Chain A
Amino acid sequence: MNDSERLAIAAHLHVALRRKTGRVTDTEWMASDTAYGQAMAQFALNYARSHEDAELERLALRFAASLPGAPAPASATLATAAAVPAADPAAPQGLVASARRYVGGLR
């Protein structure tokens, strides 16, 4: 999966979280940082399970699967986890080329 596809999924999850939970996320950072992305997917999944929100659960799992090398969220059921396509470990970290200049410094 390429960066722009992951960003698009992150944007969908961002909107859903904002509307359903009031939680505001950093969309670009979700798509570029695996740890933060996993944490937000886990948060969404927990909320979806406790409120029986199938749409949010689907978005959370889809986004989690899009993260490079990321395992499925801890609370995902075996059935749903197995249904999620495997993440692409070769997908590049970093969002877009222009962002790479910010590694290790702002200027």
Chain B
Amino acid sequence: MQMVQMAAIDKADTAWLLVSTVLVLLMTLPGIALFYAGLVRRKNVVNTMVAVFAVAAMVALTWFALGYSLAFSKSSAWLGGLERAWFSPMRLDAAAGTVSVSHLAPHLPESLYALFQMAFAVITTTLIIGAVVERMRFSALLLFSALWSVLVYAPVAHWVWESDGWLNKLGALDFAGGAVVHVNAGVSALVCAAMLGRRQGYGRQAFEPHSLGWTAMGAALLLIGWFGFNAGSALSADGRAALAMLVTMVAAAAGALSWMLVEWWVRGAPTLLGVLSGLIGGLVAITPAAGFVQVGGAVAIGLIAGVACFWGATWLKRRLGVDDSLDVFGVHGVGGIAGSLLTAVFADRAIAGVDATVLNQLVAVAAVALYSAVGSAILLTLIRVVLPLRVTAQQELDGLDVSLHQESQN
């Protein structure tokens, strides 16, 4: 553990990262909770919201217990060690005037750096919930989330963001989590949805969202929180953070408009859910590139992402035949893949400091997708040995709110 004098801590950067951490947490609570809960049927609203809150709480603890250490300590190219496990790095000696720091951010208190990274682990895990809502047993979901955050998310974060991670050494660029967060969650979501099976009536009945207003509010909170997600990943209150915030807004706007226009052309109507989905698609795609591209590149990434995510959530979804309830793969998986590859195309050496290659990005995306898919499948298979993954047919029919939680949303 590295202890430094308090004077070595940059107060401006610390203040910005404190704000960014709150913004990233806002994305999950209540951003994701509202976004997802608005898209399910009324009989499953409570289940969806409690799943997001409970998984967030679960991952917050697993992160400090094991995940942070496995992700952000030096050990091997594949996995970190355990010297930072069980909250051990959070030291502050007021008498000596020292505070612990991470080797990855020696100008920030490690307690803050770990908390900022925890917010990423939380949102990545909660994203998967969107693929399994309306049918997954709550206890199975909690167990899967706890194990996934430690055994899948933490190793992938180590590969990409820890200085001795193998994808980091390879030169793969992922500024704020295109591969670590979105490809990882998107692919895992697809595997989970496939292994759980389709909801009763899928493909025959209309599963109409119970409140697009909630979804719009959730999307707005996601947009605002994403400024902390991307600009905060600069780990500094400087020009790179400002540029990251600017390109985040631009890509989001481009994504929203391109999805809307394609949908208008193909389906004959510009829908609210389409605009919101394009907005999220643009945000997802700019995430790996936010600290590396100019504004023009961000516009291109957003425009392409809006079209790619529309294709992913419609044509590709129907071809795959998997009941990914809220299109986690179609938006986050496809958007993450597109953004990661486009990062190599639009990265500016003057900003990034390095040259990115499409091949390196492709290797990173493929490795993360493969590990996420296999890891998720193994975890679900093991969990299925001890408890069923799905609720009973009657519970699904009655709705998970009443059958699992004895509560309901009016």
| Of B200, B205, B399, the contact of A103 (CB 8 Å cutoff) | B205
CB-CB under 8 A from B325, the residues of chain A are 106
- Name the distance in Å between B66's Cβ and chain A's nearest Cβ: 35
CB-CB under 8 A from B398, the residues of chain A are 36, 39
CB-CB under 8 A from A29, the residues of chain B are 41-43
Q: Once the chains are docked, how many angstroms separate the CA of A95 from the CA of B205?
A: 10
A28 and B310 contacting across the interface, CB-CB below 8 Å = no
A104 and B203 contacting across the interface, CB-CB below 8 Å = yes
Q: Is A66 an interface residue (CB 8 A)?
A: no
Q: Is B208 an interface residue (CB 8 A)?
A: yes
- Name the distance in Å between A64's Cβ and chain B's nearest Cβ: 15
Q: Once the chains are docked, how many angstroms separate the CA of A59 from the CA of B273?
A: 36
CB-CB under 8 A from B326, the residues of chain A are 106
Q: Once the chains are docked, how many angstroms separate the CA of A105 from the CA of B207?
A: 8
B397 and A36 contacting across the interface, CB-CB below 8 Å = yes
Q: Is B169 an interface residue (CB 8 A)?
A: no
Interface residues on B, range: 35 or more
Q: Once the chains are docked, how many angstroms separate the CA of A20 from the CA of B274?
A: 40
Check A93/B205 contact, CB under 8 A, given A24-B409, A26-B399.
Answer: yes
Least CB separation from B263: chain A residue: A107
Interface string of B205-220 (1 = CB under 8 A from A): 1111110000000000
Check A106/B205 contact, CB under 8 A, given A29-B42, A29-B43.
Answer: no
Q: Is A99 an interface residue (CB 8 A)?
A: yes
A26 and B207 contacting across the interface, CB-CB below 8 Å = no
CB-CB under 8 A from A94, the residues of chain B are 205-206
Interface residues on A, range: 20 to 34
Interface string of B300-332 (1 = CB under 8 A from A): 000000000010011001100000011100100
CB-CB under 8 A from A23, the residues of chain B are 402, 408
B209 and A106 contacting across the interface, CB-CB below 8 Å = yes
A107 and B327 contacting across the interface, CB-CB below 8 Å = yes
Q: Is A33 an interface residue (CB 8 A)?
A: yes
Least CB separation from A29: chain B residue: B41
Q: Is A32 an interface residue (CB 8 A)?
A: yes
A107 and B273 contacting across the interface, CB-CB below 8 Å = yes
A102 and B209 contacting across the interface, CB-CB below 8 Å = yes
Q: Once the chains are docked, how many angstroms separate the CA of A102 from the CA of B273?
A: 12
Interface string of A75-107 (1 = CB under 8 A from B): 000000000000000000111000111111111
The chain B residues found within 8 Å of chain A, CB to CB, are: 39, 41-43, 200-210, 267, 271, 273-274, 277, 310, 313-314, 317-318, 325-327, 330, 394, 397-399, 401-402, 408-410
| 26 residue pairs from A and B, CB less than 8 Å apart | A23-B402, A24-B402, A24-B410, A25-B43, A26-B41, A26-B42, A27-B42, A32-B208, A36-B397, A39-B397, A94-B205, A94-B206, A95-B206, A99-B208, A102-B209, A103-B206, A103-B207, A105-B314, A105-B317, A106-B209, A106-B313, A106-B325, A106-B327, A107-B271, A107-B277, A107-B330
Instruction: Please give me the 3 A-B residue pairs with the lowest Cβ-Cβ distance, nearest first.
Output: A24-B408, A26-B42, A99-B206
Given contacts A24-B402, A26-B399, A29-B41, 12 further A-B contacts (CB under 8 A): A28-B208, A35-B200, A36-B398, A36-B399, A94-B205, A95-B206, A103-B205, A105-B314, A105-B318, A106-B209, A107-B277, A107-B327
